[in-house]
C-alpha cells in the first residue's frame, strides 16, 4: 500500500473528462492536488514543462493529458494524434524524472492492442499483431508512453506505472459530433432528434462492432486504487468486464433519452475494430471492481448533459 496522505500530486490534463474525474476522486484523499491549464504550462513545450515541474516539485504525477477523440477524429488527424501525444508524454515523463518524482501513473487506452487480439484481451497481447488502422497513430503514441515508463523503471528504478482504460464516458465528455466518441455523439443526436419531434437515430457503421464502456468515475477510482496498491513494470487493464454491440448501445441511449423509432446505419462511416473487450483479471486480483452499470452511467451522463448543455464541449478543436 502506497499512501497518498500528505503527497503533492500533479494531475496533468485536469480539464479533460478523465483528469477532472481524477481530481474529484483525489479530493477524498488527504493530499495536495496540483493542476495547471494550458495557459500556465503547454505540455508540448519541453522548457515550460521542466520549469513548471522544477517550481512545483510534485511527489506524484498522474499523466491524464492527451489529445483524444473518436474514430473519425483519430482517422482524420493522424499527425496531431501521434505528435501531440508523443511530445506531451516525453516532456512530462522525462521532466518528472529530472525533478525526482517518485511515482508516476501514465494513462493509455485499450486501442494499444492488436486489432485481432484474443478476447477478453490480456495485458500480454501487447505488440503481438497489427493495430486497428483507424487509430494506430494514437495507439502507437500510447504504446510509446507506457514503454517510456517501463524504460525509466528498468534503467533508473523509479516507480512509474501505467493503466490502460477501456472506452470511457461520463460528465465532462466531448459532445462534438465529428470528434467525439460514440456515447456522447449518439446521446446528443438522440436528444436533438427528440427536441425536433423526429424519430429514429443514425448510427455510424454497421452497428455490429462490440465495445466495452466504463464510467469515468469508476476509471478515476481504479486509477487511484492502482496508485495506492500497484507497483510493477506491466501496464494494467481498466475495464468494466462487459461489452455491447453499438446497435444495442444505440437502443439503450434512445431509451434513456426517450426517443422513439428505428436505427439507421450510415455505412459510409468506419466500424473500426470489431471488438476490444479487455481482461480485467489483473485488476480484479488486486481487489478492484467497477460499481457503475452502463444503464446507470448513461442515465447520469444524460442528466449531466441536460444540466450543462450551455457549457458542454459541443464544439472543440
Residues identified as active-site: 138
Q: What is the distance in angstroms between the CA of the first residue and the CA of the last residue of the chain? A: 40
Only segment of 116-124, 205-213, 226-234, 293-301 that touches ligand GFB (CB under 6 A): 205-213
209 binds ligand GFB (CB under 6 A): yes
Query: Cell triple for residue 307?
Result: 444540466
Chain positions 250 to 269 lying near ligand GFB, rule: CB under 6 A, are: 269
* Residues 218, 292 contacting (CB under 8 angstroms): yes
User: What order of strands is seen across the sheet that includes strand 159-165?
Assistant: 32-34, 8-12, 60-63, 103-107, 159-165, 236-238
138 binds ligand GFB (CB under 6 A): yes
Give min distance, CB of 275 to ligand GFB, in A: 10
Q: How many CB atoms lie within 10 A of CB 262?
A: 9
Beta carbon nearer to ligand GFB, 97 or 204: 204
216 binds ligand GFB (CB under 6 A): no
Instruction: Characterise 13 by phi-psi region: left (phi > 0), alpha (psi -120 to 50), beta (else).
Output: left
Give min distance, CB of 41 to ligand GFB, in A: 25
Task: Give the one residue of 91, 162, 167, 174 binding ligand GFB; rule: CB under 6 A.
Answer: 167
Q: What is the DSSP letter of 313?
A: B
Beta carbon nearer to ligand GFB, 58 or 108: 108
Binding mask 31-50 for ligand GFB (x = CB under 6 A): --------------------
Beta carbon nearer to ligand GFB, 153 or 211: 211
- Please tell me the count of residues contacting ligand GFB according to CB under 6 A: 24
Query: Cell triple for residue 54?
Result: 522544477
* Residues 291, 218 contacting (CB under 8 angstroms): yes
107 binds ligand GFB (CB under 6 A): no
Task: Give the one residue of 104, 120, 125, 135 binding ligand GFB; rule: CB under 6 A.
Answer: 135
E strand residue ranges, 77-221: 103-107, 159-165, 167-169, 201-204, 210-215
Task: Give the one residue of 34, 49, 203, 223 binding ligand GFB; rule: CB under 6 A.
Answer: 203
Beta carbon nearer to ligand GFB, 7 or 210: 210
Nearest residue to 139 (alpha-carbon basis) of 3, 206, 24, 235: 235
* Residues 299, 258 contacting (CB under 8 angstroms): no
Residues forming contacts to ligand GFB in the complex (CB under 6 A) are: 70-71, 74, 109, 111, 134-135, 138, 167, 180-182, 185-186, 203-205, 209, 211, 246, 269-272
Amino acid at each position: 500500500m502506497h499512501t497518498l496522505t500528505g503527497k503533492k500530486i500533479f494531475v496533468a490534463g485536469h480539464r479533460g473528462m478523465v483528469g477532472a474525474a481524477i481530481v474529484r476522486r483525489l479530493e477524498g484523499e488527504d493530499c495536495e492536488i496540483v493542476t495547471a491549464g494550458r495557459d500556465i504550462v503547454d505540455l508540448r513545450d519541453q522548457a515550460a514543462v521542466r520549469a513548471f515541474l522544477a517550481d512545483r516539485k510534485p511527489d506524484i504525477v498522474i499523466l491524464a493529458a492527451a489529445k483524444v477523440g473518436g474514430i473519425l477524429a483519430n482517422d482524420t488527424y493522424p499527425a496531431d494524434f501521434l505528435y501531440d501525444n508523443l511530445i506531451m508524454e516525453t516532456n512530462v515523463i522525462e521532466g518528472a524524472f529530472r525533478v525526482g518524482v517518485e511515482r508516476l501513473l501514465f494513462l493509455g487506452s485499450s486501442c494499444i492492442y492488436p486489432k485481432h487480439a484474443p478476447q477478453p484481451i490480456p495485458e500480454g497481447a501487447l505488440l503481438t499483431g497489427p493495430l486497428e488502422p483507424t487509430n494506430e497513430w494514437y495507439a502507437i503514441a500510447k504504446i510509446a508512453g507506457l514503454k517510456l515508463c517501463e524504460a525509466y523503471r528498468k534503467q533508473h528504478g523509479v516507480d512509474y506505472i501505467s493503466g490502460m482504460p477501456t472506452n470511457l464516458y461520463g460528465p465532462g465528455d466531448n459532445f462534438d459530433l465529428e470528434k467525439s466518441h460514440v456515447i456522447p455523439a449518439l446521446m446528443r443526436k438522440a436528444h436533438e432528434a427528440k427536441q425536433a419531434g423526429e424519430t429514429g437515430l443514425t448510427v455510424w457503421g454497421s452497428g455490429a462492432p462490440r465495445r466495452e464502456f466504463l464510467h469515468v468515475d469508476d476509471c478515476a477510482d481504479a486509477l487511484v486504487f492502482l496508485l495506492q496498491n500497484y507497483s510493477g513494470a506491466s501496464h494494467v487493464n481498466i475495464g468494466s468486464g462487459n461489452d455491447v454491440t453499438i446497435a444495442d448501445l444505440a437502443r439503450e441511449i434512445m431509451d434513456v433519452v426517450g426517443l422513439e423509432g428505428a436505427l439507421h446505419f450510415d455505412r459510409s462511416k468506419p466500424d473500426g475494430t470489431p471488438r476490444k473487450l479487455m481482461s480485467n483479471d489483473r485488476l480484479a486480483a488486486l481487489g478492484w471492481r467497477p460499481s457503475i452499470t452502463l444503464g446507470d452511467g448513461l442515465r447520469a451522463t444524460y442528466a449531466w448533459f441536460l444540466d450543462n448543455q450551455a457549457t458542454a464541449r459541443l464544439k472543440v478543436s
